[in-house]
Structure formats: C-alpha cells, structure tokens
Amino acid sequence: MRFLRLLTIAALAVAASGCQHGRPSPPEAALDPVAVARRELAERYLENEAGFTARDPDRVMRLRHPAFHTITPDGKVNTREQMYQRTRDFIARIERFDSLSEQITALTLSGDTAHAVVDQRTVRQQRIEGALHQVRTSVVQRESWIRTPDGWLLWRVDEIHPGQTFVDGKPRP
C-alpha cells in the first residue's frame, strides 16, 4: 500500500513538472512568435514554389496581399497589377523549373508584419528570343508578409540584391 502511494506521488510530481497553471507546457518553439511565423511562412513559400512550378500565375498571386508592391533597387515602385502581368509574362517564357528554392535567412516580426530576408535560387528551362536555354538565377531580397484572416500574404518586396544570371552555364552580361 505504501509503495502504491509513493508511486502515485511520483507520477503526480512528474506530471506536474510538465504543467504550468494546470496546463501542459507547449513546446518551446510554440512560445516563440518568430519560430511560429518562420514555420508558417515556410509553408507559404512551398505554396509559392508550387505555383511557379505549376506555371500558374493565378495560384502565385493568391499569396499576394491586395496592396502588394515591389520596390526595385533604383527605387521604382511596381503595383500588384504590374507584378501580376510581370508574373504572367515570366511564367509564359518558362518551359519548366529544374529547381526552385526560397530560403528564409533572417526573420523579424513587427505586430502582424513579418520581414523575411530570402535567398531565392532557380534553374529553369526558359525561352529567350524563341530559343530554349538553361537559365540559373539568384537573388536576396526582403519580403514583408502581413498576417490576415486568410493566413500570411506577401505585401512588399524590397532591398533586392540580384545575383549573377547564367545562361547555358555562361554569365550573362
């Protein structure tokens, strides 16, 4: 009987050590809003990549906020409508993506806005002046996402730092 009581007390002590105010402690990452946002944005980037891989501009643009815009390195602002047309034109030239990746290298939160520094890389088969070529590109840019009732939507792209472009393995001037 005494052994059973000690076993019960030990079990309650172990259970209590994992509780705070009567509730189980969530994993540490669930408490960190940046970690939660990083996980949620990683899912959005997978959706974005799937839209491009499917060559579906409407699917890509569903991840864009109504006020989506870009700011080019020279300070020019492109509206959502302009970027929609640019996305359609870009996808129309692509035969297929051999690889496409978007890696968050830094992330900060400010209320319901997440600012992600993203390293994007593609290898694709693309038409240039009617001929099919392998094109390899990279860019590092800041992408700002707004949390909405429908999930995170891309609001702004700025601080764009294009990498070298290679066409058929040769640097493009």
pLDDT score, position 85: 98
Write down the pLDDT at residue 173: 81
Report the pLDDT value the prediction gives residue 83, as an integer from 0 to 100.
98
Give the span between the Cα atoms of 108 and 115, in whole angstroms.
5
* pLDDT band at 6; cut points 50, 70, 90: very low
- Per the structure, the complete domain to which residue 144 belongs is given by 28-171
Number of domains in the chain: 1
- Looking at residue 31, its pLDDT comes to 85
The percentage of the chain sitting over the pLDDT mark of 70, rounded to a whole number, equals 83
- Quickly tell me which residue has 């080019």 as its tokens: 72
Residue 127 lies in a domain: yes
Min mean pLDDT across 16-25, 43-52, 61-70, 143-152 is at 16-25
The burial of 20, by beta-carbon neighbours within 10 Å (0-12 exposed, 13-18 middle, 19 or more buried), is given as: exposed
The torsion region of residue 21 among left (phi > 0), alpha (psi -120 to 50) and beta comes to left
Tell me if 96 is assigned to some domain.
Answer: yes
Instruction: Tell me, yes or no, whether 13 lies in a domain.
Output: no
Domain for residue 6, yes or no? no
Q: Which residue has the higher pLDDT, 83 or 7?
A: 83
Are 149 and 170 in contact by the 8 Å Cβ rule? The answer is no
116 located within any domain: yes
pLDDT for 18-49, tens place per residue? 444 444 445 555 689 999 999 999 999 999 99
Q: Is residue 19 part of a domain?
A: no
pLDDT above 90 for 1: no
pLDDT of 127 > 60? The answer is yes
- E strands, 9-93, are 19-20, 23-24, 64-71, 77-79
Q: Per-residue confidence at 152, pLDDT binned at 50, 70, 90? A: very high
CATH code, domain carrying 52:
3.10.450.50
Q: How would you classify the pairing of strands 94-110 and 77-79?
A: unpaired
Cβ atoms 163, 141 nearer than 8 A: no
Predicted local distance difference test score (pLDDT) of residue 158: 98
128 belongs to a structural domain: yes
| Distance, CA of 143 to CA of 37 (rounded, Å) | 13
Mean pLDDT of 154-160: 98
Indicate the average pLDDT of the chain.
Answer: 88
In a domain, 62, yes or no: yes
Contact 56, 70 (CB under 8 A): no
Query: Which residues on adjacent β-strands are paired with residue 147?
Result: 152
Does residue 118 register a pLDDT over 50? yes
